[in-house]
Amino acid sequence: MRVAIYARHSSDKQSKSTRDQIARCKAWCAQKYYMVSDVFFDETISGANVQNRPGIRNLIKALLLNNFDKIVCEDLSRLSRDQEDIAAFYKKLLFLDIPLETISDGEINELHIGLKGTMNALYLKDLADKTKRGMIAAVLNGSVPGGKTYGYDLVREFKNDEPVRGLRKINQHEAEIIRTIFNDYVDGNTLSQICTRLNRMAIPSPKDKKWNKTTLIGTVERKTGLLRQTLYKGVVTFNKMAYKKHPDTGNRLSIIRPENEWIRVPLPELTIIEEPLFDKVQGMIEARSSINKELKNQRAVMKQDERLEENRKAVKQHRSRQIKQRRYQLQLISRKLHCADHNKSIISIRSGVYICPVKNCRNRNLHRAPLVELTRQSMKTLNVTKLKQYLKSLEQEKREYEKQQILLHRNLDLKRTEIRSILDQFSKAKIRTETRRYLDEKEQECQRFIYEINQLQKDIDARKVLTDKELKEIISRFQTLLLLNEIEPEDEYVLEQLNSFILQANLSSVWDDHALEYQTSITIDFDFKKVLKISKP
- Give the pLDDT band of residue 537 (cuts 50, 70, 90): very low
DSSP 5: E
Angle at 460 between CA 458 and CA 461, to 5 degrees: 65
Buried b (16+ CB within 10 A) or exposed e, 99-115: ebbbbeeeebeeebbee
Q: Could you give phi then psi for residue 510, rounded to 5 degrees? A: -125, 140
pLDDT above 70 coverage of the chain, percent: 81
pLDDT of residue 124: 66
- Give the pLDDT band of residue 380 (cuts 50, 70, 90): very high
- Give the pLDDT band of residue 465 (cuts 50, 70, 90): confident
d(CA 209, CA 203): 9
Note the pTM of the prediction, 2 decimals: 0.40
d(CA 438, CA 533): 48
Q: What is the pLDDT of residues 249-258, one digit of tens each?
A: 556 666 777 7
Provide the pairing of β-strand 70-73 with 168-170. unpaired
Mean pLDDT of the chain: 81
Residue 506 has pLDDT above 90, yes or no: yes
Residue 383 has pLDDT above 90, yes or no: yes
- Give the pLDDT band of residue 141 (cuts 50, 70, 90): low
pLDDT of residue 523: 94
Buried b (16+ CB within 10 A) or exposed e, 305-320: eeeeeeeeeeeeeeee
User: How close are the terminal C-alpha atoms of the chain, in Å?
Assistant: 74
d(CA 178, CA 513): 40
Provide the pairing of β-strand 347-350 with 168-170. unpaired
Q: Which CATH superfamily is domain 2-131 in?
A: Resolvase, N-terminal catalytic domain (3.40.50.1390)
The residues pairing with 451 across neighbouring beta strands, listed in sequence order, are none
What mean pLDDT do residues 497-516 have?
88
> Got the DSSP string for 251-313?
-EEEEEPPGGG-EEEE-GGG--S-HHHHHHHHHHHHHHHHHHHHHHHHHHT--HHHHHHHHHH
- Give the pLDDT band of residue 181 (cuts 50, 70, 90): very high
pLDDT of residue 251: 64
pLDDT of residue 376: 93
What mean pLDDT do residues 451-479 have?
84
Residue 59 has pLDDT above 70, yes or no: yes
What mean pLDDT do residues 454-473 have?
82
- Give the pLDDT band of residue 225 (cuts 50, 70, 90): confident
Q: What are the sequence ranges of the domains in the chain?
A: 2-131, 168-273, 398-464
The set of residues, in sequence order, having a beta carbon less than 8 Å from that of 52 and lying 6+ positions away, is 45, 249, 250, 251
pLDDT above 90 coverage of the chain, percent: 17
What mean pLDDT do residues 393-409 have?
87
**Of 369 and 17, the one with more pLDDT:** 369
What 3-state class would DSSP assign to 163?
strand
- Give the pLDDT band of residue 338 (cuts 50, 70, 90): very high
CA distances from 72 to 19, 27, 36, 69, 78 (A): 15, 11, 9, 10, 11
What mean pLDDT do residues 388-409 have?
87
Which of the listed ranges 66-70, 259-263, 272-276 does the model predict with the highest average pLDDT?
272-276
Residue 195 has pLDDT above 50, yes or no: yes
Q: Could you give phi then psi for residue 122, rounded to 5 degrees? A: -65, -35
DSSP 406: H
pLDDT of residue 327: 44
Q: Are 79 and 86 in contact (CB under 8 A)?
A: yes
d(CA 55, CA 44): 12
Q: Are 50 and 56 in contact (CB under 8 A)?
A: yes
Residue 259 has pLDDT above 70, yes or no: yes
What mean pLDDT do residues 450-467 have?
80
CA atoms within 13 A on the CB side of 263: 15
DSSP 366: E
DSSP 533: T
- Give the pLDDT band of residue 496 (cuts 50, 70, 90): confident
Q: Are 40 and 6 in contact (CB under 8 A)?
A: yes
Residue 326 has pLDDT above 50, yes or no: no
CA distances from 507 to 68, 129, 358, 522 (A): 65, 57, 13, 5
Weakest-pLDDT range from 107-121, 225-239, 401-415, 486-500: 107-121
d(CA 54, CA 59): 9
pLDDT of residue 377: 93
pLDDT of residue 504: 94
